[in-house]
Amino acid sequence: MGIILSLVTAFLIAYALFQGNWQDFVQAWRTIPFVHLITLDFCFMNLFLPLSPLLDDDLARRGLQDSYWFWAIVLLPLFGALAYLCWRPTLQDPQLRLTLTPSYQ
């Protein structure tokens, strides 16, 4: 899933950079509140991801004590999180896997 998300994100970023109309985006950002809100939300969510306790919890569950992953996510806001999804180790403890999977019984 991480690889698919990374490929789709890279394609959309490349498409936006090379085929996007930046003048239209700036005009829409200034005049349409929804575009303004979604753009700011995207930026803030990328900036505040490292402050989330979910990231600390996932790093601890996977036994990653090295701060390399944390700083990769912090310094590369979008692609750092995608790299983490691609290269993080699997959960070793079956009990941890059971607590993460939803139960539909």
- Per-residue pLDDT tens over the stretch 28-56: 999 999 999 999 999 898 888 877 788 77
Its pTM stands at 0.69
Within 8 A by CB and 6+ apart from 61, the residues are: 91, 96
pLDDT at 33: 95
Residue corresponding to tokens 């059971």 = 98
Structure-block tokens of residue 2:
């991480």
Distance, in Å, from the CA atom of 38 to the CA atom of 29, rounded to the nearest integer, reads 9
Indicate the helix (H) or strand (E) that contains 58.
Answer: helix 53-61
SS3 56: helix
- When mean pLDDT is compared over 20-24, 42-46, 47-51, 59-63, the highest value belongs to 20-24
Residue 96 has pLDDT above 90, yes or no: no
Q: Tokens at residue 21, please?
A: 């109309």
Q: Mean pLDDT across the stretch 52-65? A: 79
